[in-house]
Amino acid sequence: MGCITSILLIPSAGVSFFFSAWIVMIFWGIMADDVGVETLSYRGALVVTIALWLVIAPFFATLSRCGPFRRR
């Protein structure tokens, strides 16, 4: 991937992050009554989303380098 393409992907990652946080907030609100927990604010959804991204992103990066889905 070229340098310009990488730079242009940064804003799309930001938009994806905020959209993911909004989706987490919506689904948390739907499931909150069934699970017996309180609803989550958007700020809380941002924290949950960044935690998930920090755990899941390295996992998929490792899979792409070493796993069965490795590009050759």
27-63 confidence digits (pLDDT tens): 999 999 899 999 999 999 999 999 998 988 888 878 7
Residues 7-27: tens digit of each pLDDT: 777 888 889 899 999 999 999
pTM, entire model = 0.70
* HSE-up (13 A, CA, CB side) for residue 41: 2
What is the distance between the alpha carbons of residues 25 and 70, in angstroms, rounded to a whole number?
Answer: 33
pLDDT score of 51:
93
DSSP letters for 41-59: -HHHHHHHHHHHHHHHHHH
